[in-house]
Amino acid sequence: MFKTALATATGPDAASLADCLARRALAQVPDPQIGILFAPTALDQKAFFETLRRALKGIPLYGMTSPFGISTRGVEPGAAVLCLLRTDDLQFHLYSGKTANNPAEVSRYLFSRYQFEHPPQDQDLVACLMSGTEIHGRGNEYLAGPRELLPRPLPITGGTVLGTYPSRDSNAINQGSMYCGNLVQQDMLNLLFLKEAGPAGRIGFGFANDSSWRPIAHPVTCTKADRNIVYEVDGQPIHQYLESFLGPDYQEVLNVNVARFTLMAHLREGPIEKSLIRAPVTFDRQAGSISFWPPEDLQGQEIQLAQMSRDDLLAGAAAAARRARAALGPLHPALVLAFSCATRYKILNTWAEREVNALREVFGPGVPIIGMYCGSEFAPLLDTAAEISDKRRTLAGSRQFGASVSLLVIGTPEPPDPARDLYKMLDGFRREDLERFPPTEAERTAHLVAQLEEADRAFVETERSLQVLIRQHYETTCALFRRNQELAEANRRSERLQSVIRQYTPHTVWDKASVTVMAGLYHIPDEETFSSFMFMDVKGFTTFAEKNPPDRVIAELNEIFRPATDLVYANGGDVDKYIGDCIFARFETSEGALRCALAVQEMLREKRTDGCPFAVRIGLHHGRIVSGNVGADQRRENALIGDAVNLTQRLEANCTPGCVLVSQAFLAQLDRALLQGLSTHEKTIQVKGKTEPVVVLEITPAGGPAA
């Protein structure tokens, strides 16, 4: 069996409070093995702790102080919260040591002791509760021991002790007390190992952490940093970057609104993404740097400006509870340990109860929930012990967090007793305490004043946050409007440029270039292909051009080229190039090439009847060519190279004006039905570059040569 007792107590006298707390807990579990304790910082710790241990018959106690404890009932400001445990399925091993300004060294010492006294085995199921003093922002060094000494990552949950929060003196905030077995001390590292002792499957652990920050800017990379001191992000001075988002008073915004704005980093493993706070703590304008907490190396790391809201916090707490519950698998939750950041308490203010309510709604009123609001939190990034301990995984092990909620849930095969209503019991304790020690009028007034001051502070912070966001939204909107106008004009220029360039580019090349760009390439691939080709020359135009002004030369040539080009494209061809008074075109089929050639001759016949003095010669051939890039980076052409190109031109040169001269290779690809009604004449010609005569067929259009 896994037995738990949960009790709370308040009162002005430390000794009587301890007696009451012990009595209420022992009534539920008379023979506990260990106790987990969170108590108010303002108590006389020595008197409280000695009285409580005496009443509990000397059992070891693990825990720490906080102005705000957590129980199944809710947030317990000014109350001590105690959970007693009795089980045969867990072993409890408690270790503590003086930090003495060296958190990494005490961590190594304590974890080496544990490893020596309890040599780890592959089948071990172990979780660790960790509490420590946040020495000069170096609490992350408490994780050095497990990271360096243990054979595999260990699930660690807990937090750093919280003193007189919300004092602005960081030493006062972080110098609370810790309950270390049989003594109460400050400046300590405190470890409680929970190790499965009974048959496998009798105990399970579920873990979860949620930070609830929402990004409000694109990620940037720390391009110049000395560990946690950052000078530049994306090559821009860090102060200038923050000013661009939060305005010239960005330092005040971050200091006053630390609960609203911060920066965060991301850890990723496949589709899983986890966020870690990177809080700016020291601003050095003279050096142009900002120091971030926790003090980890940020060179080359991505950080992102983020914001938090109360709704986000509550949703995050509920999501963490569901994940931790799901991590138990078939087991039932028997105890929930919750460590939430004091920053969350500051943001939630009067909504703090709702965070605990969110946990209770997932686990039920019969499951003990105990914890505290702390300075920072320790937690795994993953949810099950198997995942966390798998050193092959990027997100294995545990980290230090800020502004998050961290959960450790112990599961057992037995479901919670449906008749056990801890919320109702704890609420009864609270009512008893209020009746025994009713607050004075002055205390009630002071409490109301404190609440109003806190509400006013929260309102001011919210107002400033909204001003920042409104200003940022306005500036961003103006910048986007200007940028959209620039992009629209750039697009218009690009479209005009493309339209101009396309007119001067073969369509085949343009289409291949489009495919190449879509594939992320920079050069059109070389290729070999078989196609039909047409070479067309305007007879007598060279002499005409020598005797006439340029405008008339171009006008007359276009009177032929314009309709001829339209006919090329109408018949499935593509003009590869214009060479003086010649057109070189490529066709996918021989039929299309012949239809085009005959249509061009028919078009010239009609023009000659209107007084056009010119005739054209057309050569058609089918063959292999290589399409490749020739030239240099400054000027390239995707040229058609091969004997097929040369022979096509030779055929045109040997053609009778007004006729079409085709090769045997062309005829072999042609449907001879297209030649019906046409006058044809086979002949042999000698062409340059060929040793043997070439047999060709000259085709005269139906109306006779267009000459």
Count Cα atoms within 13 angstroms, Cβ side, for 370. 28
pLDDT band at 436 (very low <50, low <70, confident <90, very high): confident
pLDDT band at 122 (very low <50, low <70, confident <90, very high): confident
Percent of the chain whose pLDDT exceeds 70: 93
Over residues 464-503, the pLDDT tens digits come to 666 666 666 666 777 788 888 888 888 888 888 887 877 7
Section 78-89 average pLDDT: 96
pLDDT higher than 60, residue 259: no
**pLDDT recorded at residue 656:** 92
pLDDT higher than 80, residue 153: yes
Residue 398 and residue 366 share a domain: yes
- 432 is a domain residue: yes
What CA–CA distance (Å, rounded) separates 554 from 577?
A: 16
Contacting residues for 687 by C-beta, under 8 A, at least 6 apart: 647, 650, 651, 654, 694
Over residues 364-404, the pLDDT tens digits come to 999 999 999 998 999 999 999 999 999 999 899 999 998 89
- 18 is a domain residue: yes
CATH number at residue 571: 3.30.70.1230
pLDDT higher than 80, residue 170: no
- 705 is a domain residue: no
Joined tokens for residue 304: 């992102």
Over residues 321-368, the pLDDT tens digits come to 999 999 999 999 999 999 999 888 888 888 899 999 999 999 999 999
H or E stretch at 373: strand 369-374
pLDDT band at 273 (very low <50, low <70, confident <90, very high): confident
List Cα–Cα distances, 462 to 132, 207, 260, 352, in angstroms: 32, 32, 8, 17
Residue pair 368/145 in contact (Cβ under 8 Å)? The answer is no
3-state secondary structure of 640: strand
Residue 514 and residue 663 share a domain: yes
Residue 404 and residue 486 share a domain: no
Residue 355 and residue 244 share a domain: no
Residue 623 and residue 568 share a domain: yes
pLDDT band at 190 (very low <50, low <70, confident <90, very high): very high
pLDDT band at 451 (very low <50, low <70, confident <90, very high): low
Residue 154 and residue 32 share a domain: yes
Given the DSSP bridges, would you call strands 272-284 and 204-210 parallel, antiparallel or unpaired?
Answer: unpaired
Over residues 696-706, the pLDDT tens digits come to 999 998 776 76
Residue 529 and residue 450 share a domain: no
C-alpha of 641 from chain center: 49
Helices (H), 328-440: 342-348, 352-363, 385-388, 422-436
What CA–CA distance (Å, rounded) separates 698 from 667?
A: 11
Of the ranges 22-36, 192-206, 263-277, 553-567, which one carries the lowest mean pLDDT score? 263-277
Given the DSSP bridges, would you call strands 405-412 and 332-341 parallel, antiparallel or unpaired?
Answer: antiparallel
Domain that holds residue 450: 439-504
- 707 is a domain residue: no
**pLDDT recorded at residue 536:** 95
pLDDT higher than 60, residue 257: no
Q: CA-based angle 686:687:691, to the nearest 5?
A: 75
- 77 is a domain residue: yes
Given the DSSP bridges, would you call strands 369-374 and 68-71 parallel, antiparallel or unpaired?
Answer: antiparallel
- 217 is a domain residue: no
Percent of the chain whose pLDDT exceeds 90: 58
What CA–CA distance (Å, rounded) separates 592 from 567?
A: 10
pLDDT higher than 60, residue 12: yes
Joined tokens for residue 289: 């740097």
Pick the closest to residue 402 from 382, 379, 376, 380 (CA basis). 376
What CA–CA distance (Å, rounded) separates 234 from 515?
A: 33
Joined tokens for residue 675: 């030649």
**pLDDT recorded at residue 673:** 85
pLDDT higher than 90, residue 690: no
Q: Compute the radius of gyration of the chain from its Cα atoms.
A: 42
Pick the closest to residue 628 from 530, 553, 699, 528 (CA basis). 528
List Cα–Cα distances, 673 to 132, 260, 591, in angstroms: 96, 83, 10
Section 595-607 average pLDDT: 92
| Domain end (from 253, 270, 304) | 304
- 275 is a domain residue: yes
| Domain end (from 244, 279, 304) | 304
3-state secondary structure of 253: helix
Residue 545 phi, psi dihedral angles, 5° rounding: -65, -30
**pLDDT recorded at residue 320:** 97
3-state secondary structure of 236: strand
**pLDDT recorded at residue 598:** 94
Section 253-273 average pLDDT: 74
Residue 401 and residue 323 share a domain: yes
pLDDT band at 664 (very low <50, low <70, confident <90, very high): very high
Sign of the alpha-carbon torsion through 338, 340, 342, 345: negative
Count Cα atoms within 13 angstroms, Cβ side, for 244. 13
DSSP state of 614: -
Residue 185 and residue 64 share a domain: yes
Whether the predicted model's global pTM rises above the 0.85 cut: no
Burial 465-501 (b: 16+ CB within 10 A, else e): beebbeebeeeeeeeeeeeeeeeeeeeeeeeeeeeee
Residue 586 and residue 561 share a domain: yes
Section 590-608 average pLDDT: 93
Residue pair 110/154 in contact (Cβ under 8 Å)? The answer is no
Residue 529 and residue 383 share a domain: no
| Domain end (from 417, 438, 459) | 438
- 454 is a domain residue: yes
The number of folded domains in the chain is 4
The mean of the pLDDT values for the chain is 89
Joined tokens for residue 357: 């309510």
Residue holding tokens 């920072």? 376
Over residues 517-543, the pLDDT tens digits come to 888 777 788 888 899 999 999 998 988
Residue 652 and residue 542 share a domain: yes
What CA–CA distance (Å, rounded) separates 578 from 558?
A: 11
**pLDDT recorded at residue 40:** 93
